[in-house]
């Protein structure tokens, strides 16, 4: 099953590193849909370029890339992280094992730090992967969010449709020094998310500040909270 990666980038060096990593670390059929104003520095049949003439942020770029995917699975990717060798074989195996007849949003977990993202104590994947057919029905990243919260919003839509969110058993993602571990959110993103989902999933939660309800937690901490 081919995996399509949607990849926005405005940084030539980071994009070059990321594309070389994906091509070298993959064992099976993958493609990378690059959305960028610049032609990708790596020439390969597995790399497709969608010229972004009027950049409107990473979430709009992911949505634009989704229109070009040809795989059975789609993964939202970034240019400041790397994938471990053989990552795609692990994704295919774990995805099929976890799917179990449900609409699955599967998250690639980081090697370090060993944490996951939550909103209202519900897990959302940092690096989400799902069947293309499900993404066509539910939607992929929503460009209405300028920079942040599109991954959270996608998880809420999957849950709202009766699906499940699960993380990878094996850590697959390695951070680079380019990842500043900052909260990436533009004016209006948080407000839009809360308008859509607080009434459904956030009753009783404080929401004055982002970290009131959007928290990174350790796997053990999340498991204890769920018990």
Give the CATH number for residue 32.
3.90.550.10
Q: What is the pLDDT of residue 12?
A: 95
Q: By residue range, what is the domain housing residue 29?
A: 3-226
pLDDT confidence of residue 177: 85
Report DSSP state, residue 108: P
Q: What are phi and psi of 14, to 5 degrees?
A: -65, -40
Q: What is the pLDDT of residue 226?
A: 45
Nearest alpha-carbon partner for 25 in 78, 75, 79, 83: 83
SS3 97: helix
In the 3-class helix/strand/coil scheme, how is 133-188 assigned residue by residue? HHHHHHCCCCCCCCCCCHHHHHHHHHHHCCCEEEECCCCCEEECCCCCCCCCCCCC
- In the prediction, which pLDDT does 184 show? 62
pTM assigned to the model: 0.94
The pLDDT score that the predictor gives to residue 219 is 79
Instruction: Give the pLDDT confidence score for residue 87 in this predicted structure.
Output: 98
For residue 187, the model assigns a pLDDT of 78
Number of domains in the chain: 1
Give the pLDDT of the chain (227 residues) as one tens digit per residue: 999 999 999 999 999 999 999 999 999 999 999 999 999 999 999 999 999 998 899 999 999 999 999 999 999 999 999 999 999 999 999 999 999 899 999 999 999 888 999 999 999 999 999 999 999 999 999 999 998 999 999 999 999 999 999 999 999 999 998 765 555 666 799 999 999 999 999 999 999 999 999 999 987 776 544 43
Apex 148 CA angle, 143 and 152, nearest 5: 90
């Amino acid at each position: 099953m081919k995996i399509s990666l949607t990849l926005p980038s405005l940084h030539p060096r980071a994009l070059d590193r990321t594309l070389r990593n994906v091509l070298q670390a993959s064992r099976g059929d993958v493609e990378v849909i690059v959305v960028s104003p610049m032609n990708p520095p790596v020439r390969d049949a597995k790399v497709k370029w969608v010229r972004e003439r009027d950049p409107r942020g990473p979430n709009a770029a992911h949505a634009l890339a989704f229109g070009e995917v040809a795989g059975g699975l789609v993964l939202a990717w970034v240019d400041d992280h790397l994938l471990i060798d053989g990552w795609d074989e692990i994704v295919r195996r774990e995805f099929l094992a976890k799917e179990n007849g449900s609409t699955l949003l599967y998250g690639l977990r980081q090697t370090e730090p060993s944490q996951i993202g939550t909103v209202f104590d519900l897990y959302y994947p940092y690096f989400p992967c799902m069947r293309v057919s499900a993404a066509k029905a539910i939607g992929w990243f929503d460009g209405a969010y300028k920079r942040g919260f599109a991954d959270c919003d996608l998880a809420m839509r999957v849950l709202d449709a009766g699906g499940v969110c699960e993380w990878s058993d094996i850590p697959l993602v390695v951070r680079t020094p380019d990842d500043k571990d900052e909260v990436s959110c533009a004016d209006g993103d948080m407000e839009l998310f809360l308008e859509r989902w607080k009434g459904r999933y956030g009753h009783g939660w404080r929401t004055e500040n982002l970290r009131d309800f959007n928290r990174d937690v350790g796997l053990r901490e999340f498991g204890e909270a769920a018990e």
